Amino acid sequence: MIYIKNDFKTIQIALYFVDLDDAKYSVHRFMLPKLMSATTDFIPSRQMMSKKMEELYGAYIKVRTERMGNLSVMSLVLTCVDPHIVKDENLFNDALRVFKDVIDPTRNFSRDVFNDEKRMLIEQWETLKDKKRAYARERFLSLFFENDPYGYPLSGTLKDIKKLQLEDVESYYKDMIENQVRYVVVNGRISDQHQEKIEEVLKKPVSMTLPFITSFRGPRPVKHVVETADMKQAIVRLGYLLPIYRQDPLYDAAVIVDTILGGYPESRLFKIIREQEGLCYDISSGYDYYKGVMMISSGIDLSKLGHALDAMTKLVDELKKKGITPEELNHAKAYYTHQLKSSLDSQSTLTKRAFVKEMFHYDETVEEKLAKIEAITVDDVNQAAKQLIYDTCYVLKGETK
């Protein structure tokens, strides 16, 4: 159990369940935390759960399922206000009791809630195309990560959802609660009494025994896919391979490549494609260090799509060929440092970071990390940038007149 004691005005208790990412169980892992947090044996309906959380000054359980390399991470994070502020002595114990019941190994799940969740998940798929950006993202991921677990929808496919039965989820839950790797992080103003209570109520964490693999396929001929929809813009998503992973020596240099390319307002994509050429409003890049890839996304002026695509790919080519300037490096380093420091003020980020550090045995301190950032050279960044390989281009666009 990890404790972070500080002066935030809320207390967080986070529970993380970790398993290998397996397409067969995607839908189970996506659905399960929603069902777990919707009811308990003592709070048997959604409405009653909402009322209970309202009684606890609007406490809430945030659930999420995500991928980290070859692992699937399911999280349930309870947040409630610090009882000292509202002078309610029972608040913490009441909130903890709800959380305990949420993860009770012998608990039951409501069939009504399961049916509601299943219907809503199906409806989410049925309306995906209405949300152009979400649809474009899903399509791009399925093309870029073709034949890779990352290309499989986090929620499972529509077919998986339709096939899913409550009994499947229940049996998966029992196995998960008994056997799977789990971590607990507690963050906030916690007294010794609270700590004892937490240890009494929450089952002991089970540490990582699973192999952690970060890898992706090699290069292939560039894949171009253009689709049309009733829309005014063209949503462009470009995928590049950048085979540098979280544990690699060039990792921080790769973060700087991302920053300079499209990670902040002084980035090349922002300056050239938006400010100089006026081709878009939003443009940015993102680096996934678990898969070793860089992705660019933008909403482009439909009438200038061809030119914009050329300009974007040319810009990346130039970054690879000519590298960066010392000034660009200094600015990007200052920004990276700022991002790191400001994240220390976010309770949710601290909670998640504590879990990731524990799971992957990252023992680097903030000071060590800052020193590492300071030591990055222009050569490091150029070396990292040279590894970018253009791989996928997906466009969702309106019909041009």
**Least distance from C-beta 252 to another protein, angstroms?**
16
Contacts 24+ apart (CB under 8 A), 177-182: 177/103, 177/105, 178/105, 179/206, 180/17, 180/18, 180/19, 180/206, 181/17, 181/18, 181/19, 181/206, 181/207, 181/208, 181/209, 181/210, 182/15, 182/16, 182/17, 182/18, 182/206
Instruction: Between 233 and 382, name the residue whose CB sits nearer to another protein.
Output: 233
**Least distance from C-beta 86 to another protein, angstroms?**
6
Query: Using the rule CB under 8 A, which residue among 5, 22, 42, 85 binds another protein?
Result: 85
Residues 240-259 binding another protein (CB under 8 A) are: none
Query: Using the rule CB under 8 A, which residue among 29, 132, 268, 291 binds another protein?
Result: 132
Residue 399 in contact with another protein, rule: CB under 8 A: no
Q: Which segment (142-150, 206-214, 274-282, 318-326) binds another protein by CB under 8 A?
A: 274-282
Residue 8 in contact with another protein, rule: CB under 8 A: yes
**Least distance from C-beta 306 to another protein, angstroms?**
16
Q: Which residues contact 257 (CB under 8 A, 6 or more apart)?
A: 242, 287, 294, 319, 381, 384, 385, 388
Question: What DSSP designation does 338 have?
Answer: H
Query: Using the rule CB under 8 A, which residue among 105, 196, 281, 371 binds another protein?
Result: 281
Retrieve residue 192's tokens: 């010794």
Q: Which residues contact 6 (CB under 8 A, 6 or more apart)?
A: 187, 188, 189, 347, 350
CA 350/CA 343 separation, integer angstroms: 7
Instruction: Between 237 and 291, name the residue whose CB sits nearer to another protein.
Output: 237
Residue 369 in contact with another protein, rule: CB under 8 A: no
CA 331/CA 385 separation, integer angstroms: 17
Residue 226 in contact with another protein, rule: CB under 8 A: no
Q: H helices of 262-304, where?
A: 268
Residue 50 in contact with another protein, rule: CB under 8 A: yes
Give me the DSSP letters along 189-246: S--HHHHHHHHHHSPPPB---S----------SPEEEEEE-S-SEEEEEEEEE----T
Residue 46 in contact with another protein, rule: CB under 8 A: yes
Beta bridge mates, 226: 395
Residue 313 in contact with another protein, rule: CB under 8 A: no
**Least distance from C-beta 132 to another protein, angstroms?**
5
Residue 272 in contact with another protein, rule: CB under 8 A: no
Retrieve residue 50's tokens: 């909402």
Query: Using the rule CB under 8 A, which residue among 178, 196, 282, 368 binds another protein?
Result: 282
Spatial contact of 3 and 129, defined as CB atoms under 8 Å apart: no
Residues 340-359 binding another protein (CB under 8 A) are: 341-342, 344-347
Residue 388 in contact with another protein, rule: CB under 8 A: no
Retrieve residue 64's tokens: 């999420």
Instruction: Between 157 and 337, name the residue whose CB sits nearer to another protein.
Output: 337
Residue 308 in contact with another protein, rule: CB under 8 A: no
Query: Using the rule CB under 8 A, which residue among 44, 67, 94, 124 binds another protein?
Result: 124
Q: Please state, as a whole number, how many other Cβ atoms lie within 10 Å of the Cβ of residue 80.
A: 25
Q: Which segment (15-23, 50-58, 155-163, 193-201) binds another protein by CB under 8 A?
A: 50-58
Residue 177 in contact with another protein, rule: CB under 8 A: no
Give me the DSSP letters along 94-115: HHHHHHHHHT-TT----HHHHH
Residue 230 in contact with another protein, rule: CB under 8 A: yes
Query: Using the rule CB under 8 A, which residue among 335, 384, 391, 392 binds another protein?
Result: 335
User: Given the rule CB under 8 A, which residues bind another protein?
Assistant: 6-10, 45-47, 50-51, 54-59, 79, 81-82, 85-86, 112, 116, 119-120, 123-124, 126-133, 230-233, 264-266, 270-271, 274-275, 278-282, 299-301, 331, 333-335, 337-339, 341-342, 344-347
